[in-house]
Amino acid sequence: MERPSWAPQGIDLSMPSVSRIYDYYLGGSHNFEVDREAARRAIEVFPGLPKLMQANRAFMRRAVRYAVDRGITQFLDIGSGIPTFGNVHEVALAATPEARVVYVDNDPVAVAHSRAVLDGNDRADIVAADFRDPQAVLTSEPVGRLLDLDRPVALLLVALLHFIKDEEEPDKALAELRERLAPGSLLVLTHASTDGGPHTARQGQEISDVYKQVGSRLVMRSAAEVDRFFDGFELVEPGLVAMPNWRPEGSTEHEDPVVFTGFAGVGRKA
């Protein structure tokens, strides 16, 4: 296989990547046939997956604009993936020239492509680090240079926590991050679930099995389990809801039912 210029040396192009699969769902071009094949298997089980991922991205854009409307200009996006069209720094900088964005991902392809996209941008950068190691994130050079942690920050964990198993203690990592955030900071979160949507627990297990084959565990959590991630934050209206129902910019009555699968919420640290 010919290695594209954006694919860093040392990456096994025969192994699918969660971030490149997500890029494929969003209509991006930074994916390989091995990623597309895994995505197609997932779509066979869960035919609405691309629409669901697009709803996820649309929620993220609304949440970024909500943060800016409340005077927050700093964004820490962990598990950011490949920055396809409509990513955080584009949305934030369109809303305010004061925006500063630090992306964090542990996928070398996502990091390499982010660096290429952000080259020459002095208001956004990428850190190669893992959510499960909060200190590596918080003490990184881009965070120190671009973010003032004594002022409110919007922490984005969008479509991330369902890849973190309970035994990896996501609550503990999130608590470490929360403790370092200033009062007034926001937590922006989405999470996969079969609660509340048209899909069954069996389908949830089948799609989890597809992701397990590509080396990632997809953990479906209930509404109550997702709500616990907001400990220490006060959920803003309308609370923890399906993604299209979080401060929609228009009517949602004609949306495909599949996009109401899973949960989204924004919490504010008092």
Contact 194, 203 (CB under 8 A): yes
Domain boundaries, the chain: 18-268
Walk along the chain (270 residues) in steps of 10 and give the mean pLDDT of each run. Answer: 69 82 87 91 85 92 98 97 86 96 92 87 96 98 98 97 95 98 98 70 68 73 95 98 94 82 95
**pLDDT of res. 203:** 66
Q: Give yes or no for a cis peptide into 238 (omega within 30° of 0).
A: yes
The Cα 248–Cα 215 span in angstroms is 34
> What does 231-264 look like in DSSP terms, one character per residue?
TTSEEPTT-SB-GGGSS-SS--TTS-GGGGSSEE
Q: Which amino acid is at 97?
A: P
Task: Tell me the one-letter amino acid at 247.
Answer: R
Please report the pLDDT score of residue 130 as a whole number. 97
3-class DSSP state for residue 59?
helix
* φ, ψ for residue 55, nearest 5 deg: -65, -35
What is the reported pLDDT for 29?
Answer: 84
Q: One-letter amino acid identity for 107? A: D
How far does CA 27 lie from the centroid of its chain?
16
Query: Within its chain, how far is the Cα of 218 from the centroid?
Result: 14
Give the pair of three-digit tokens for residue 57.
């991205």
Q: Please, are residues 79 and 159 in contact by the beta-carbon 8 Å criterion? A: yes
Contact 101, 156 (CB under 8 A): no
Residue 24's nearest CA partner among 11, 41, 12, 3 is 41
CATH number of this structure's domain 18-268 = 3.40.50.150
Residues in the chain: 270
109, 7 in Cβ contact below 8 A? yes
Strands 100-105 vs 234-235: parallel, antiparallel or unpaired: unpaired
Q: Is the model's pTM score more than 0.75? A: yes
Smallest Cα–Cα separation from 35: which of 44, 22, 51, 48?
Answer: 22
pLDDT per residue as tens digits for the range 56-78: 999 999 999 999 999 999 999 99
Segments in the chain forming alpha helices (H): 18-25, 33-45, 49-69, 88-95, 108-118, 134-138, 141-146, 170-180, 201-213, 223-227
By the 8 A CB rule, do 99 and 123 touch?
A: yes
